[in-house]
Structure formats: C-alpha cells, structure tokens
Structure 1
C-alpha cells in the first residue's frame, strides 16, 4: 500500500499544480479586465495620462503589466496587458492576457 501511495503522490501534486495554474489564469483575466475598467473610467474624467496611471494602481507590481489609453471621439479606450504567470505572478511565460474597456468622456459644462 505504501508503494501505491508513493506512486500516486506525484500525480496528485501535478493535478494540484494544474488546478492552481487554471486559477491564476482566471484571476489574471479578471485583474486585467478590472484594471482596464478602472483606467477607462479615470481617463474619462482626467485624460489619457491619468488613465494609464490608474491601471497601474489596480495591478500589483509582480504582474508584468503594460497599459495603453487612447482617445477616439468622445470615448476613452483602455487596454491592459498582463503576462500569463507560471505558478506565481512573478514568474511569467510571456503569453499576454489582455483586458479592454471604454468609457465616454465627462463633459465640462
């Protein structure tokens, strides 16, 4: 029985690592989408420079993040890219995860 247990432990650990990786992927998509939403909203009030700074406030430093905000007409669009983590947010494999959002500019009356 001990030999069977020792033989299944690596498989169980591999399954746990695979589930953890799936959780990190889902969290990265959620994080990128939320950061893009917050950045677009901040950009609607303060412009594109404020937009990119707002994206950075909602993502931790371990996630290799890049943010880009553009203006097209009355819409501010924010794109946030994170690199896919490998078991930990500080270790990435270079596959980008992207979140996008848009918000209408606030009018000054």
Structure 2
C-alpha cells in the first residue's frame, strides 16, 4: 500500500482549491481573445523595428572607429619599420626606407600610402607615413583625411 500523500505518477500534485467563476462564452474566438488580452498586440514588434536601425547605426559607428584606430596602428608600425630599415641600409637609405614602410601594409592601405624618409638630421633617421582612412570597407572608398605615423631611429656608424 502507498503511504498517504505519496505521488501517484504525476510529477506534481494538484491541490483542490476554489474555482474561479468565468463569464459565459459568447461570440467568436477572436472576440473572446480580444476581450481577455490587453490592447497592445504587436507592441514588441513595433519597438524592435524602431530600435533596430539605431542598433545597426551604433554597430557601423563602432566599426568605423575600429578602422580609424587600426589605421593609426598601421601608420605607426610602417613608420617604425621604415626608420629602422633606413638606418641600417648602407646605400640607398631612402629607397630602403620607403620600400620597408610599404612592405607590410595591407593592400587596402598601401595604395594610398605616402612615405617620407629623412636622414639629414643630427643623429636620427626619421620616417613619416600618412595613410588614408577607409570608409567601412577597406579598399573600396577612403576618406579625405589622413592618419600620420612618425618614427625615428638612431643612425648607425
């Protein structure tokens, strides 16, 4: 025999309680449903449609900021590599500097790269690199403003 209060195959026990009195049913299903639920049908959908363009705009702005930052990193690194290579070259320092600065740049940035190398200063070999910032997709369209990277390396010998 089972102990009193033991479960009888159901995972929860139904407890008897007072029954709620429901009004008598009349009309169609749609009328009945409209009567039972609030009048904000589709509110979530409308809010989603209204907020989605703002979310997309925010993502595009963040991506553009990431491209600007990446262009700063590329310009600084290219100037650093160019200055170090120009310092170590025995002859043709300017050509070695320009070639080294453009060598590691991705193709989307190397086409619009401007490199200036100068070893005339006292004790330092300087390199300056300017890169145009792409708009959303690198290699398709560039903005008019450039990002500048400067570097200097001590002359050898």
Q: Which category of TM-score, normalised to the shorter sequence, fits these structures?
A: over 0.9
Counterpart-to-counterpart distance in 1, 2:64 and 2:125: 33
Bigger strand fraction: 1
Bigger helix fraction: 1
Contact 1:85 1:92 in 2 (8 A): yes
| CA drift at 1:49 | 1.1
2:151 aligned residue (82, 101, 109):
101
Larger Rg: 2
TM-score using structure 1 length: 0.93
After superposition, the CA RMSD in angstroms is: 1.0
1:20 aligned residue (63, 78, 81):
63
- Structure 1 unaligned regions, length at least 5: none
- Structure 2 unaligned regions, length at least 5: 1-43
Return the structure number with greater relative CO, CA threshold 8 A, min gap 6. 1
Contact 1:48 1:76 in 2 (8 A): no
